[in-house]
A and B are shown apart, each in its own frame.
Chain A
Amino acid sequence: MSRYALIVSVLALATVPAASAASGPPPVGIVEASSGAGLYAANCSSCHGPGGEGILPPGRPGVGDLVGEGPSLRNVGAATVDFYLRSGYMPLANPHIQPWQSRVLLTNREIKKLVAYVSSFGHGPPIPHPDPASGSLPAGYALFTENCAGCHQVAAEGGYVTGARVPPLDGLTDVEVAEAVRTGPYVMPKFTPQAISNAQLNSIIRYVDYVQHPQDPGGWSIGRIGPVPEGLVAWLIGAALLVAFCRVVGRRARYE
């Protein structure tokens, strides 16, 4: 028995560093300022340029080994800025790593000021006001499967595309989902209203809301990603219990 306890505890210890690695990049500190322009100058201009014109590689050397590089923010629109700030994608410490959901250190008012300031760099999509209740769940399910499931997985559990991780959609507000669809953050496609109309987007958001807590009539849902956790259950619960029972019913070999 002690052999098994040792194996189990080693495996348990091994998951600790792995679990801590899953959380994404560490949040960047924020410099406070009273105006949108001030916030922008202190927190964003080192990568995006003082006028939002963007900085191309080889970039502008900064503190330590950081290099300031960033896309242009001209004509990105309020939707884009609002999304990147509310999700914690921005500010990003290193332009070469993938932005990921992280703790948002800006306050709501600071975000609003920044949104107003950056969206003044031209014309872009405004913050959307989705109405998922007016959407159709079956239509949303079909649209999500066709347009989104390839990357986000059909139950919105996230996934992988070559060169990037795709986030699961739990915890996002309706506005954030709508913003992401219209702005296409990082390597996500940007779906225009001709591709996905506002009515269709309402249905998609309705589905995304539903699939966070879908019906699970079969019991413990074990992740909703299919055979990988199912195989783990079959071995670590099913086979393990039955092997244990065999040990109870049979006997160990005793060599004299």
Chain B
Amino acid sequence: MIRASVRWLDRRTGTGPLVRSGLRYVFPDNWSFLLGEVALYAFMVLVVTGIYLVFFFQDSTATTTYHGAYGPLDGQQVSLAYQSVLDISFSVRAGLLIRQTHHWAADVFLAAIVLHLLRVFFTGAFRPPRTLTYYLGLTMLTFSLLEGYLGYSLGDDLLSGIGLAIGYGVALSVPFVGANLASLIWGGPFPGTSAFWPRIYIIHVLVLPVLIGTLLVAHLALVAARHHTQFRESSRHTERRIIGVPAFPGQAPRSLALMFAVFAVLFLLGGLVQVNPVWLWGPYHVGLSTNGAQPDWYLGWLIGALRLVPGFDVVIDRRTVIPNPFWGGVLFPGIVFGLLFLWPTLERRFTRDRASHNLLQRPRENPWRTAIGTALLAWVFLVFMAGSADRVDVLFGLDYAEQISVYRIAIWVIPLIVLLVTRRICTELQAADRVASVRRSALHSPKAGPKRGS
């Protein structure tokens, strides 16, 4: 039967040789190379569950009186969008499972991408000839952040509605053209025209998925064309020769297993752990808000940044040149992504290493990159933590205002310390490695003299 299928395929598509080399394609099988795959499988879950949700969601902010299955909202004015999300959650069989799986998949997808980015960065996998692959990945990350933000905002609940209002404040804060930009996006001042909701809907279900999907295909094609990088685990691993497991039969069951494991974890979370219970938040109205409103985790670094900046607008002659949210909402992510995008160029400039690399570096082998990368991560992480300082006050009694004052200093001091400490650790580890390898070669050397003590 397999023989018949193979002949069928080769005769109709002529892809016999391609499939043969594809199936014997060699993967270095380090576990950390699978993180991107985790993201890929989470993306598949997002697309499939998303398509299901599309068949039930109504992208309209026209109001209606709710008389659905959730009693505490009976008789309240809600938008059609919010009502459709409640119907999916309460009235469609398995609707809540699919909706929650979709939300968890987004959270885990971004976590996997961040882990994958960290692995790529700290092992130098972005170096030529893979810089284009790296830029595509970063672009996908940017799109994915926006995609997630728009996705959870579509429900028009109180929490995400507040998030959209803040997004509006950040758009307005772009110097000179902020209001024009916001007017373009919303169709006027917030909350915008009735066209705004279909706008963000179509961006979320069509424009961004197509963009991300296309970039993803290009990203994977590039990885395959240039072959995956590898660690120098022995002298047999070189820049010219890749050692690994073939796609078939070795890697295929592993990748399939990982795929089903991702599906398993996401559906288990989707069924067992409640996420974004919009019926508890209630519908969004311009005049309402709630304490403890937070964006989803992958935007938490931005709420931290917005809270940390002291209260001032930059005003010149009655023109508000730089409104306050600019620093935390535009400049901060701009610096982080700017550094990430520029890093390959900066590294090439400073190390004067323009060669192609197929071998990865262990983080310790590039102390400056590891130290600066860890310091940047510490900076972002501290700002992220500052965003939860109010919940820390509620739980542990540490005064919020004092926390903010401490964070304002810590976000500059601690990354500096982290930089120096990390660099030191790297050089120490390298020195230890050198000692170990000298010892190893001394023990195995044929010229070694008689062993001591014999």
> Which residues of A are interface residues toward B (Cβ below 8 A)?
18-19, 21-22, 24, 137-138, 141-142, 145-146, 149-155, 157-163, 165-166, 207, 210-211, 214-222, 224-228, 230-231, 233-235, 237-239, 241-243, 245-247, 249-256
Contact = CB atoms under 8 A, between A and B. Distances in A.
A227 B261 contact: no
A160 B300 contact: no
B390 A138 contact: no
B356 interface: no
Interface string B271-295: 1111111011110000111111111
Interface of B: 29-35, 38, 70-76, 89-90, 96, 100, 104, 107-108, 111-112, 115, 158-159, 231-235, 254, 257-258, 261-262, 265-266, 269, 271-277, 279-282, 287-297, 300, 388, 390-391, 393-398, 400-401
B115 A218 contact: no
Given A222-B274, A245-B261, A250-B29, 7 more contacts: A142-B76, A153-B292, A215-B70, A225-B391, A226-B294, A230-B296, A256-B233
B30 A231 contact: no
B104 A234 contact: yes
A138 B391 CA distance: 28
A154 B400 contact: no
9 contacts: A24-B397, A137-B71, A138-B73, A138-B74, A141-B282, A226-B281, A227-B159, A242-B262, A255-B234
B162 to A, nearest CB: 11
Contacts of A246: 31-32, 34-35, 38, 258
Contact of A207 (B72, B269, B276): B72
A161 B272 CA distance: 33
Nearest to A241: B265
Contacts of A155: 280
Given A158-B394, A251-B29, A150 B289 contact: yes
Nearest to A206: B72
Contacts of B38: 242, 246
A252 B394 contact: no
Given A218-B273, A239-B112, A159 B294 contact: no
Contacts of B276: 226-227, 230
A204 to B, nearest CB: 12
Nearest to B27: A250
Nearest to B103: A230
Q: Which 3 A-B pairs have the closest CB atoms?
A: A231-B297, A159-B291, A250-B31
